[in-house]
C-alpha cells in the first residue's frame, strides 16, 4: 500500500474494503472527517458507491473500521517487538520505540486516528476505549501493575502523542520514547 501501510488488513480481507479504508484515510487527511463525503472516499478508493455500501452502512462506520485496522496493526507492532529473552525493562523500551516509530511513519494517519475519530461520537469513543484497553492489557501481561495504572500509562503516552500531533511533530515521536518508558518504569516501581 501507499504511505498508509499501517492499514494492512488481516489475510483474506477484501481488496475493496482495504481500498475503501485507504480512501477514507486519504479523504479525511485532505478535508477532515466533517467535510469528507462518501463521494470523496469512493473517488480516492477508485470504487463505486455501491461497493462502499456493500462494506459499510455509513461514513462513520468506515472511519471506525479504519481506526480498528490501524489499531490492530499498532498492537501487532507492540507484540512483534517483544523479545522474551530480554528483561522486562528492555522489552518495554524496545516495544515502545517500535510503537512510536510506526506512528511516526504515518503522520497524516495519526491525526485522523487521534483527533478525527472523536468526531464520530460515541462509536468513535468506544473504538478508542477498546484500543486503549487492549494496550493496557498488553502492558499488564508484561509488567505487573493494577489495571487502573496500566490505563493511566496508556493515557499518558497517548497524550504525549496527541501533543506531538497538535504541534505538527509526529515524525519526532521516537524522541518521546524515553519519557514513555520512564512513565512505565515509574508506575511499575510505585
Does residue 3 form part of some domain?
A: no
Q: What is the pTM of this model?
A: 0.88
Based on the domain organization, do 88 and 142 belong to the same domain?
A: yes
Does residue 70 form part of some domain?
A: yes
Which residues lie closer than 8 Å to 73 by C-beta, 6 or more apart? 6, 7, 8, 102
Q: pLDDT-based confidence at 168, cuts 50/70/90? A: very high
Summarize pLDDT for 10-54 with one digit per residue, the tens.
455 589 999 999 999 999 989 999 999 999 999 999 999 999 999
**In 10 A of CB 139, how many CB atoms?**
24
Number of domains in the chain: 2
Looking at residue 51, what is its pLDDT?
Answer: 97
Based on the domain organization, do 109 and 168 belong to the same domain?
A: yes
Based on the domain organization, do 19 and 36 belong to the same domain?
A: yes
Does residue 180 form part of some domain?
A: yes
Find the length of the chain.
190
CATH number at residue 170: 1.10.357
- Tell me how far apart the alpha carbons of residues 42 and 46 are, in angstroms, rounded to a whole number: 6
Q: What is the domain extent for residue 42? A: 12-56
Summarize pLDDT for 84-118 with one digit per residue, the tens.
999 989 999 999 999 999 999 988 788 888 999 99
Amino acid at each position: 500500500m501507499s504511505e498508509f501501510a499501517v492499514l494492512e488488513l488481516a489475510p483474506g480481507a477484501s481488496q475493496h474494503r482495504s481500498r475503501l479504508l485507504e480512501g477514507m484515510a486519504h479523504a479525511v487527511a485532505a478535508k477532515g472527517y466533517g467535510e469528507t463525503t462518501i463521494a470523496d472516499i469512493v473517488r480516492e478508493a477508485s470504487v463505486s458507491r455501491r461497493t462502499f455500501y456493500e462494506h459499510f452502512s455509513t461514513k462513520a462506520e468506515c472511519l471506525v473500521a479504519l481506526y480498528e485496522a490501524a489499531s490492530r496493526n499498532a498492537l501487532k507492532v507492540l507484540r512483534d517487538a517483544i523479545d522474551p529473552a530480554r528483561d522486562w525493562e528492555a522489552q518495554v523500551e524496545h516495544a515502545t520505540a517500535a510503537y512510536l516509530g510506526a506512528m511516526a511513519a504515518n503522520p497524516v494517519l495519526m491525526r485522523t486516528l487521534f483527533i478525527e475519530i472523536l468526531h464520530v461520537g460515541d462509536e468513535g469513543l468506544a473504538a478508542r476505549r477498546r484500543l486503549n484497553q487492549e494496550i493496557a492489557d498488553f502492558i499488564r501481561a508484561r509488567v505487573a501493575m493494577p489495571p487502573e495504572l496500566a490505563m493511566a500509562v496508556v493515557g499518558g503516552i497517548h497524550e504525549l502523542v496527541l501533543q506531538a500531533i497538535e504541534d505538527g511533530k509526529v515524525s519526532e515521536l521516537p524522541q518521546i520514547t524515553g519519557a514513555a518508558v520512564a512513565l512505565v518504569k515509574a508506575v511499575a516501581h510505585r
